Amino acid sequence: SYNENKSLIPASIQNLLTTRAGFEELGANFRFRTSIGYVGELDKKGVLQGDVVIVGGGDPILGSYRYKQTAIDSVFAKWYEILSVMGVKVIGGHLSFDASIYDDRPLHDSWMWGDIGNYYGCGVHGLNIHENMYFAHFDAGAALNQKATLINVTPKDIDLISEVNVTTGEVGSGDRVVIYGPPIDNVRLCTGTVPLGKKNFKIRGSLPNPPKTCAELFAKYLNKKGIAVANDVVKTSKPKRDVTMVFDYYSPNYAEIVAYANQTSNNIYVESIYKYLGYKKYKIGTFETGSQAINDYLRLHNLSTKGIRIVDGSGLSRMNMMTARFMTDFLTEVSKQPYYTDYLRTLSQIGKSGTAKNMLKNTNLKRDIYIKIGSMNGIKSYAGYIVGNNGDVITFCFMVNNFKCSGTKVGKKLEQILLMLI
């Protein structure tokens, strides 16, 4: 060990705390629930004299393009079918939404302005859709420094105004676009470069006002399917007790969600788990109740929180602090729990899966290495397990802050330390 008790910014190895607490408090088979209900009376002509209400349950994967069953059209088809079977032909009131399971503060105050317009800083709401992000499709210019063209955005029909200042960069330069914009405003400023020669080059940005966007997209879907929505989408003012629920939609199970979250550092998945833990214990999901729930959990397992500060679930904030000694103690304690095998499967495996698939190439590994990687500007963190064929386990944590070289160069140094351990 070296400086093992020094508090440093962990970046997304913070996910390990949040996702582990979820395994214990929620269980591997937990599923987020989104409900459809109505307020008012349905007359003989099929006119609902009232509102249809979408009640969010914090599901981060609702409408996600990653799985067929969670895609927007697949979800909306199920919701439409319920209303159709009921005999609804016209929604005379509003198609409204209730996202009150979480507070109205999707972003932590300390998240950086340069992060929050991009997909990884989109934040989490009580009602999410399409992972709270959109795709902007660009065609590069014909030569270096020429203006790139925004050709379309997906999902279609979202309320979005794009101000584009994107130009053409060198061949193979990758995605160097930064998108700026707050969570409720529908204006997004796109700056930076896309690579020369690229057509339909996809950039991911944060979706404006996801709860309202979800309801608006569903209203448009219903109108196309023949159920007319008479009025604009609104945030419901009705207490949940006044809403008659007719359908519950469930997410994939927790273990599946966490595997994707940990292996790709998907911040919305982790932040939704974090806020749900706060909701479960303190009746509303906020950054503060999420932090309280995680700290309560750590103390319950006799893990010292000295030198630890938790302000969000994903590690996107630079206010989070952690020590390497804490993390190795934490991971050691996890290895004694009945869900350890499930937890281990959610991590990237060096040479085989996730963000670690291409690490330590052409190296004859004598043990399996399961890892979570954290990266931000000037920050690189590795934490996880080295597992031998005989079942012996080494936990490890490396954190480096404030370096001036590239993150890739620091990563190569940390990989050399890993090799010494196996």
Per-residue pLDDT tens digits for 240-288: 889 999 999 999 999 999 999 999 999 999 999 999 999 999 999 999 9
- CA dihedral sign of residues 156, 31, 20, 109: positive
Whether this model's pTM surpasses 0.75:
yes
Contact 90, 97 (CB under 8 A): no
pLDDT tens for 124-178 read 999 999 999 999 999 999 999 999 999 999 999 999 999 999 999 999 999 999 9
Residue indicated by tokens 């349950």: 57
- DSSP annotation string for 394-415: EEEEEEEES-SS-HHHHHHHHH
What is the pLDDT, as a whole number, of residue 363? 84
Confidence of residue 365 (pLDDT cuts 50, 70, 90): confident
Q: How many CB atoms within 10 Å of residue 384?
A: 26
Q: Which amino acid is at 131?
A: E
What is the pLDDT, as a whole number, of residue 238? 81
Contact 264, 64 (CB under 8 A): no
Q: Which residues pair with 201 in a beta bridge?
A: 138
Confidence of residue 389 (pLDDT cuts 50, 70, 90): confident
Q: Which amino acid is at 359?
A: M
Q: How many CB atoms within 10 Å of residue 314?
A: 28
- Mean pLDDT lowest among 105-119, 355-369, 391-405: 355-369
- Measured between alpha carbons, how far is 388 from 371 in angstroms, rounded to an integer? 15
Confidence of residue 322 (pLDDT cuts 50, 70, 90): very high
What is the pLDDT, as a whole number, of residue 42? 96
pLDDT tens for 299-313 read 999 999 999 999 999
What does the DSSP 8-state code read for residue 342? H
pLDDT at 362 over 80: no
- Measured between alpha carbons, how far is 172 from 174 in angstroms, rounded to an integer? 5
Residue 345 CA neighbour count, 13 Å, CB half: 10
- Measured between alpha carbons, how far is 246 from 36 in angstroms, rounded to an integer? 6
Q: Reduced to 3 states, what is the DSSP secondary structure of residue 357?
A: coil
| Average pLDDT score, the chain | 95
Confidence of residue 117 (pLDDT cuts 50, 70, 90): very high
Provide the pairing of β-strand 234-235 with 393-401: unpaired
- Measured between alpha carbons, how far is 385 from 387 in angstroms, rounded to an integer? 6
**Cα dist. 321→14, 233, 389 in Å?**
9, 41, 34
Q: Which amino acid is at 270?
A: V
Omega prior to 155 cis, within 30 of 0: yes
- Measured between alpha carbons, how far is 82 from 85 in angstroms, rounded to an integer? 5
What is the pLDDT, as a whole number, of residue 300? 92
pLDDT at 366 over 90: no
What is the pLDDT, as a whole number, of residue 237? 82
Rounded to a whole number of angstroms, the CA Rg of the chain reads: 23
